Amino acid sequence: MTLQTKVTGVILAGGQSRRMNYQDKGLQLFRGQPLISYSFNALRPLVDELIINANQNIALYENFGVPIISDLTQDFSGALAGILAAMNYSSADLLIVVPCDAPFISTKQLQYLLSEHEKSGSEITVARTGEQIHSVFLVVKTSLQTSLESFLAADNHKVRLWFGQHKTYFVDFGADAIGFENINTLAELNAVTNALNLTP
């Protein structure tokens, strides 16, 4: 990023965690730390400010010492609602967005995503590994706020459908896929923990 470009890091933790039996995903322990802490630590060196999008357990997320921004509606509308809430809050030129359930993501990978965005001249830059698109690892211009407001107001929630309305560039991380793996269920969390011979 240039010196003039301001970047806000956004961690999406605003879901209901249905597949986690409604246990707040970002606060589940992995390697003795909340899942969200891995995204937090990977993003922090890269951004001018860091915020968390959360709609429950606000007091617990406040322990991270950054602003907690809730969706503008109360219906847990998904990733795009969290991104819109962040756009509404931030005065930065760009958001770099990651989910709260990706404990293997690295600062190096996110730096590459930012760098590729700058080079591409796109409005949105999204990570992919081969044919798999990782829709909630992205860089997006905050100037798209009005577009996103209109999209959600029309009761649209599909992230890739909104991408299709804008100049979107997909960065292929190839064999560097592990950082983009999500932990979506308690079974997956236990499986990964056991595979690493760690105690949650």
Q: What is the pLDDT of residues 162-188, one digit of tens each?
A: 999 999 999 999 876 788 988 877 777
Whole-angstrom Cα distance, residue 199 to residue 193?
Answer: 6
Average pLDDT over residues 27-49: 95
Q: Does residue 2 carry a pLDDT above 60?
A: no
Dihedral class, residue 71 (left if φ above 0, else alpha if ψ from -120 to 50, else beta): beta
Domain boundaries, the chain: 7-195
Which letter does DSSP use for residue 24 in this model? Answer: -
In percent, the amount of the chain with pLDDT more than 70 equals: 89
- pLDDT at residue number 175: 72
- 42-68 pLDDT, tens per residue? 999 999 999 999 999 999 999 999 999
CATH 3.90.550.10 fits 7-195, yes or no: yes
Q: List residues bridging with 10 in a β-sheet.
A: 51, 97
- 139-157 pLDDT, tens per residue? 999 999 999 999 999 998 8
Structure-block tokens of residue 123: 């409005």
Q: Among residues 50, 66, 55, which one has the least CA distance to residue 26? A: 55
- pLDDT at residue number 5: 76
**DSSP states of 162-185 as a string?**
HHTTS-EEEEE-TT-GGGG----S
- pLDDT at residue number 94: 97
- pLDDT at residue number 76: 61
Q: Mean pLDDT across the chain, nearest whole number?
A: 89
Average pLDDT over residues 9-23: 75
The pTM assigned to this predicted structure is 0.90
